Structure 1
Amino acid sequence: MLPSVPFAETLEAMDKLYKAGKFKRLCLSNFTSFEVTEVVMTCKYNGWVRPTIYQGIYNCMQRGIETELIPACNRYGLDVVVYSPIAGGLLSGKHDKESRPEEGRFSDKFLKGVLREKYFKNGFFEAINELKEAAAKHGLSTIEVALRWLVHHSKLKIFNEDGSRGGDGIITGVSNLKHLDDNLDYLEKAPSHRICWRCWTRRG
C-alpha cells in the first residue's frame, strides 16, 4: 500500500481481486499495529476480504514487534511470518563494528549505507558477542541458537500448546544448499540451552 493512497481504496481493489480468484490470502508487511487495526476494521466494516498474514522483521536481537504488533495480529487472526531471522547475516558472527564490506547489504554502496548505519552499533555487536560466547560453550553456532529461539522461545506460535503445527512461520534466506540443510536441521531441534537466554533480553 502507498502512503499517498487511502487504505480503503487499495483494500476495495484487493477485495475485487480476491473475489476474482487472483489470490488466496491477503498479507500485510511492515505495518504498524495501528495500521493493522485500521486495515482490519476497514475490511470488516465493508465486508471485504480481511488480511490473515502479517510479515515483519523479527529475531532474537530485534524484538520490537513483540509489544504491540504480535498481540494485534493474535487479536485479529493474522498469522505472523517473520523474515531476517539472523539479522541480515549479523548473527552469523562474521562481522564486527569495524567491518566494511565492499559488497552486499552492509556496504556503503547499498542504499547509501543506510543499513550499515542502522545495525553497526556497539550495543548490537556486544549482544552478538555475548550470544556467541554462550553458544560456543555448548558447541553451537549463533545461527543455530537464533533459529531455535524463534521456534521455541519467541512470541511466535510455531507450535500450539497441544504440539500441533501453529500458523506462524519463519522465512530464512540461504546462499547454498548446505546452508539450507543446516537451517532446516536447526529449526527441527529442541529448545536451546538456558545459558543463552540472558542474551535474548536485549532488544533492537
Structure 2
Amino acid sequence: MASTCGTATPARRAHRRGTGRARVQRRRRRRTGPSRCHDCGDAAGEGGDVSRAVPQRTLAGTDLAVGRIVLGTMTFGTQVGEAEATAMVRTCREAGITMFDTSNNYGAGAAEQMLGRIVRPFRDEVVLATKFGSPVDQSDPEATGLSRRAVRRAVDDSLRRLGVDHIDVYYMHRPDRDTPVEETLEALDEVVRQGKVRYLGQSNFAAWQITEMLHLARAHGWAEPLVSQPLYNLLGRRVEAEYAACSAHLGLTNITYNPLAGGLLTGKHRRDGRPQAGTRFTKEIYRDRYWNDDQFDAVERLGEVASAAGLTLVELAFRWVLGRPLTDCMLLGASGIDQLRKNLDAVTGPGLEPDVLAACDDVWRGLEGAAPHYNR
C-alpha cells in the first residue's frame, strides 16, 4: 500500500499543529513506542499483512504510539482474578501490546482498580484508556451520563480507582441525549487543561454526532475527541456505509471493538441452546445484537469460508478486522490467560486472500438488513 505520509488532509494538518490545549499536553509528552505516521502503520489496506507481532500505530491528534492490538479488561475483577489478570498483562507486554482499555462500569469499578494495581510498577511504559457515561451504580443516577457534574465526578473516581494522576485516553462511552453536547465538551476540555486527562475519545456515537462534536470543539478551541471506538466485525459492518468516510475526512483513529461479535464468531454457540453462563450472551445487549437466526446462519457460512481457507473461524474474524482500512487498532479481550494466548496466536498471520474477502462480502450482503447498528 502506498504511503500517504506526504498527503495529509487540511483537517489532519490542523490538528497535528495543535492548539493551546495541545501545548499544555505536550508538557507531559511521553511515547510508548516508535513514532509512525497515522496513515501508514503496518497491516493497513484491504486484507493487509498482520504477520508482524503487534506493529505500532500512532493515535490521531496525540503523541501516543501504541500496538495495533489493545487489551480490553472487561473481565478483570469479575471473571478474572488478580493473579491471572497480572499474567495476562505480562503476556501482552511481552507481545508488544502497550495500551490497556477499561471502563468505570466494568465490574462497577473493579476492573479499573485491578488494572491500576497491576500496571503501577510500569505506569509510564503503558497507555491507559478508560470510559465514562454508562451506568455504574443503578441507584445513583448522577453516576451516569455526560453532564458537567458527571464528567467531574467520573474522572476523579477513575483516577482514584486506577491510582494514577492522569488518564491517557478518556472516552465518552455512549451518547447522552439529555445533556447538550457543548456542556460535555466544555467539561472535558476543563479536565484536559487540569492535566487529569491527556486525550479524548468517544465510543458508540453516530457519524453525525462525531462531526458535530469536532465542529464545536474546533470552533471553541476545546480538546477534540479524535480517538474513536466503534463496533466492527464480520457480522456488524454498518460503519462502512457512512462512518468510514466520515472518519477518514475528520482524521480519526479507530480502535474497533467486538471482533468476535461477543463470542458468536467463535462458533461455539448454538441457536437452539441457551447462552452459556460466563459468556457475554447472558447480557441483554449482546443477545439483542447477535442472538438471532440471521446471525447464526451467517456464522455457519463464515465457518465454511474459514475452513476452505485453512483457517479457524476465530482466525478469519480477527484477520478480517485487522486487514480493513478502517481499523487502526483492534480491541481484544479474553476470559483468561489461556484464551488470551490463543487469541494472540490467532491474530498473527498473513492477510486474507482476495477470494476469501469476496466470500466474506457475500455473507455480509445476505446479513446486512439484520446486522447490529454501530451506534446507540
Give yes or no for the alignment of 1:128 onto 2:289: no
In the TM superposition, residue 92 of structure 1 has moved relative to its aligned partner by 0.3
Q: 8 Å contact 1:70–1:80 — kept in the other structure?
A: no
Code of the residue aligned with 1:199 in structure 2: it is: C
Q: 1:117 to 1:30 in 2, by over 3 A?
A: closer
Corresponding residue of 2:88: none
Task: Among all aligned residue pairs of Structure 1 and Structure 2, give the percentage whose two residues are the same amino acid.
Answer: 33
In the TM superposition, residue 195 of structure 1 has moved relative to its aligned partner by 4.7
State which of 318, 340, 361 in structure 2 corresponds to 1:200.
361
Report the Cα distance in structure 1 between the residues aligned to 2:252 and 2:239, rounded to whole angstroms: 14
TM-score normalized with structure 1 length: 0.85
Give yes or no for the alignment of 1:62 onto 2:236: yes
In the TM superposition, residue 46 of structure 1 has moved relative to its aligned partner by 0.4
Q: 8 Å contact 1:66–1:155 — kept in the other structure?
A: no
Q: 1:200 to 1:179 in 2, by over 3 A?
A: farther
Give yes or no for the alignment of 1:140 onto 2:342: no
Give yes or no for the alignment of 1:85 onto 2:259: yes
Q: 8 Å contact 1:127–1:199 — kept in the other structure?
A: no
Structure 2: gaps spanning 5 or more residues? 1-145, 147-175, 372-376
Structure 1: gaps spanning 5 or more residues? 158-167
Corresponding residue of 1:181: 341
Q: 1:73 to 1:138 in 2, by over 3 A?
A: closer
Report the Cα distance in structure 1 between the residues aligned to 2:199 and 2:310, rounded to whole angstroms: 41
Give yes or no for the alignment of 1:45 onto 2:206: no
Corresponding residue of 2:102: none
Q: Aligned ranges for residues 87-106 of structure 1 at < 5 Å?
A: 87-101=261-275, 103=277, 104-106=279-281
Code of the residue aligned with 1:51 in structure 2: it is: P
Code of the residue aligned with 1:125 in structure 2: it is: F
Q: 1:172 to 1:155 in 2, by over 3 A?
A: same
Report the Cα distance in structure 2 between the residues aligned to 1:43 and 1:138, rounded to whole angstroms: 46
Code of the residue aligned with 1:75 in structure 2: it is: H
Corresponding residue of 1:27: 201
TM-score normalized with structure 2 length: 0.48
Q: 8 Å contact 1:26–1:52 — kept in the other structure?
A: yes
- What's the C-alpha RMSD, in Å, of the aligned pairs? 1.8
Report the Cα distance in structure 1 between the residues aligned to 2:349 and 2:218, rounded to whole angstroms: 39
Q: 1:102 to 1:60 in 2, by over 3 A?
A: closer
